[in-house]
């Protein structure tokens, strides 16, 4: 394969993944508790510097993505049960008989008196079980 085509193809694949992540970030910009995903890229040459080959491949590779856990802006609401975490941490919720974690503090009381999320009615868990 021509080096130029390989370099261009690796760049396009990397940019495609980057656009997927940016699109997801934009789609969730107003989602309570959403945390931005960040993509990390590097060149093949930088990745292969510890190898002993005379020829290094060209192009870029996606090293991975990570989540930005910095606090976002707090927005006041009129709902009495809306709460925000102004520090690291998560709410533990019960979803499909397993524990999951969220930072979405839009809460309500369900018909059985449990504190649940507004989206999905997942029970908020405390130390002793559902609150």
Give the domain ranges of the chain: 3-67, 72-131
Residues 53-107 have pLDDT tens digits of 555 556 777 777 888 888 777 888 888 998 888 778 889 999 888 999 988 888 9
Query: Average model confidence (pLDDT) for the chain?
Result: 81
**Measured distance CA(108)–CA(119) in Å, rounded:** 10
Assigned token pair, 109: 């009381």
Query: How much is the pTM?
Result: 0.59
Residues 9-62 have pLDDT tens digits of 878 888 888 899 999 999 998 887 788 898 887 776 655 555 555 555 567 777
Four-residue CA torsion sign, 100, 104, 109, 115: positive
Q: What is the predicted pLDDT for the residue at 92? A: 92
- Predicted confidence band at 115 (pLDDT cuts at 50, 70, 90)? very high
**Measured distance CA(115)–CA(64) in Å, rounded:** 36
**Beta bridge mates, 108:** 116
* Range with the largest mean pLDDT of 5-9, 72-76, 107-111: 107-111
For residue 16, the SS3 value is helix
């Amino acid at each position: 394969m021509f080096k130029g085509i390989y370099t261009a193809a690796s760049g396009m694949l990397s940019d495609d993944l980057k656009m997927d992540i940016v699109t997801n970030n934009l789609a969730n910009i107003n989602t309570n508790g959403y945390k931005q995903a960040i993509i990390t890229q590097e060149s093949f040459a930088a990745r292969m510097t510890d190898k002993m080959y005379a020829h290094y491949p060209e192009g870029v590779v996606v090293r991975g993505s990570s989540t930005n856990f910095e606090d976002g802006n707090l927005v006041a609401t009129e709902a009495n049960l809306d709460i925000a975490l102004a520090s690291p941490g998560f709410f533990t919720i019960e979803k499909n008989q397993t524990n999951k974690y969220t930072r979405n503090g839009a809460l309500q009381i369900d018909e059985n008196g449990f504190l649940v999320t507004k989206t999905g009615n997942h029970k908020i868990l405390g130390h002793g079980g559902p609150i």
